[in-house]
């Protein structure tokens, strides 16, 4: 028998494990041009929260009663396509199933010399999100101060390191002393702020950014961003990558309006999703792989064992349970 995880009901506010259901399903068999694949690593990502509601977004909503889906690294266990053989590793946008069929044209064959889980992280969507957000919107210049929220997350930790490679002064914001220690000791960021223990975030930003903030890579939004915002420099660039602190809001989040300060500071704020740059993914993966191979990028994952742990792992994202990329391994 095969297993899947379906969306049982749409959450209101913070998702609960009861919004998901682990269910048995049939064992499929691949048609012509299809592969039968077995999941190896399944990605959980903050953006999936918006897909759990039925509001219009940049990605289609999950359907109630249907399996969840997302980035998955899988192994080919049966091939009906000449380009793939049993044992190949593939990356695809797949369902949360132990075993499934997929059109071979919808997956990418992976280099097994690389740690396969990296294709869901530093060499995948989060790494590319860091790369293109920084290069295309942030445009950091050596000597500038770059602040990163969610700095110990899958995207944030790559952002911090790209900023250091560019010669910037980097201030990382994260939610535990373990994470800030990792940022400081391993990623070599210049200053860290633990937003959970810091009493006055605005003062903390002023203290750690004495020359103001030139680039703010924002993964979290909300009050943390308000504090960073209050200290931006003229021509500041604010990269809106995610707003994880607001994803579970049940009302429209309200806060200080950023516009008057943006006029005063000639500041830029830009939202994006990584697929805007899909035509250039090859360039991004090549650069990230090169930095990784040269030992210029450190990388960390938090890997949870067991397919059935997917719902609680996903929910853990919103409680900061991960350092680096959060994954479930089969």
Among 10, 188, 234, 296, binds its own copies (CB under 8 A): 234
Buried b vs exposed e over 138-159: b needs ≥16 C-beta within 10 Å? bebeeebbbbbbbbbbbbbbbb
Q: Rounded to an integer, what is the distance from CA 301 to the centroid of its chain? A: 12
Residues 256-275 that bind its own copies (CB under 8 A): 256-273
17 Cβ contact list (under 8 Å, min separation 6): 311, 312, 315
Judged by CB under 8 A, the stretch of 68-76, 108-116, 241-249, 302-310 that binds its own copies is 241-249
User: Which position has the token pair 């944030």?
Assistant: 156
What track of x and - describes contact with its own copies for positions 274 through 313 (by CB under 8 A)? --x-------------------------------------
Helix (H, G, I), strand (E, B) or coil at 305: strand
Among 36, 158, 204, 241, binds its own copies (CB under 8 A): 241
Whether the CB-CB separation of 217 and 239 falls below 8 Å is answered with: yes
**Residue by residue, what is the 3-state secondary structure of 1-69?**
CEEEEEECCCCCCCCCHHHEEEEEECCCCCCCCEEEEEEEEEECCCCHHHHHCCCCCCCCCCCCCCECE
Q: Which is nearer to its own copies, 26 or 56 (CB)?
A: 56
Among 253, 278, 293, 296, binds its own copies (CB under 8 A): 253
Query: Per rule CB under 8 A, is residue 319 in the interface with its own copies?
Result: no
Site for its own copies in 71-130 (CB under 8 A): none
User: Judged by CB under 8 A, which stretch of 87-95, 105-113, 140-148, 252-260 contacts its own copies?
Assistant: 252-260
C-alpha pair distances (Å), 86 with each of 21, 67, 170, 250, 303: 30, 25, 45, 46, 25
Instruction: Specify the residue, 105 or 250, whose C-beta has the smaller distance to its own copies.
Output: 250
Q: What is the DSSP letter of 111?
A: -
How many residues belong to the site for its own copies (CB under 8 A)? 37
Per CB under 8 A, the list member of 3, 222, 280, 283 interacting with its own copies is 222
**Residue 240 in the binding site for its own copies (CB under 8 A):** yes
- Other C-beta atoms lying within 10 Å of the C-beta of residue 266: 10
Q: Contact with its own copies (CB under 8 A): which of 1, 113, 254, 279? A: 254
Q: Which stretch binds its own copies (CB under 8 A): 107-115, 148-156, 238-246, 313-321?
A: 238-246
User: Based on CB atoms, which residue is closest to its own copies, 1 or 263?
Assistant: 263
| Least Å from the CB of residue 308 to its own copies | 31
Question: Which of 197, 276 has the CB closer to its own copies?
Answer: 276
Tokens 């293109």 belong to residue: 132
Minimum gap (Å) between residue 130 Cβ and its own copies: 15
**CA atoms within 13 A of residue 88's CA, in its CB half-sphere:** 21
Which residues contact its own copies by CB under 8 A?
A: 50, 57-58, 218, 221-222, 225, 234, 240-243, 246-247, 252-273, 276
């Amino acid at each position: 028998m095969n297993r899947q995880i379906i969306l049982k009901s749409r959450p209101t506010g913070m998702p609960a494990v009861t919004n998901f259901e682990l269910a048995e399903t049939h064992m499929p068999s691949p048609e012509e041009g299809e592969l039968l694949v077995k999941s190896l690593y399944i990605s959980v990502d903050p953006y999936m929260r918006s897909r759990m509601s039925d509001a219009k977004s940049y990605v289609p909503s999950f359907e109630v009663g249907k399996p969840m889906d997302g980035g998955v690294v899988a192994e080919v266990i049966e091939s009906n396509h000449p380009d793939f053989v049993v044992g190949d590793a593939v990356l695809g946008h797949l369902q949360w199933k132990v075993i499934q069929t997929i059109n071979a044209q919808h997956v990418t064959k992976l280099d097994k010399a690389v740690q396969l889980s990296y294709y869901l992280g530093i060499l995948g969507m989060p790494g590319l999100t860091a790369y293109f957000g920084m290069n295309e919107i942030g445009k950091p210049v050596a000597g500038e101060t770059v602040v990163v929220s969610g700095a110990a997350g899958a995207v944030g930790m790559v952002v911090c390191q790209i900023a250091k490679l560019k010669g910037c002064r980097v201030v990382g914001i994260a939610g535990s002393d373990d994470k800030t220690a990792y940022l400081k000791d391993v990623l070599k960021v210049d200053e860290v702020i633990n937003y959970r223990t810091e009493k006055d975030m605005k003062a903390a930003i002023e203290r750690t950014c004495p020359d103001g903030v030139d680039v703010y890579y924002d993964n979290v939004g909300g009050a943390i961003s308000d504090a960073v915002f209050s200290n931006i420099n003229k021509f500041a660039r604010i990269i809106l990558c995610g707003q994880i602190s607001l994803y579970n809001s049940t009302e429209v989040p309200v806060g200080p309006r950023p516009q008057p300060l943006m006029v005063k500071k000639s500041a830029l704020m830009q939202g994006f999703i990584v697929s805007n740059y899909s035509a250039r993914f090859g360039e991004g993966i090549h650069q990230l792989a090169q930095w990784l191979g040269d030992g210029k990028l450190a990388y960390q994952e938090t890997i949870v064992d067991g397919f059935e742990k997917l719902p609680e792992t996903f929910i853990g994202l919103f409680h900061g349970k991960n350092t680096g990329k959060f994954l479930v391994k089969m």
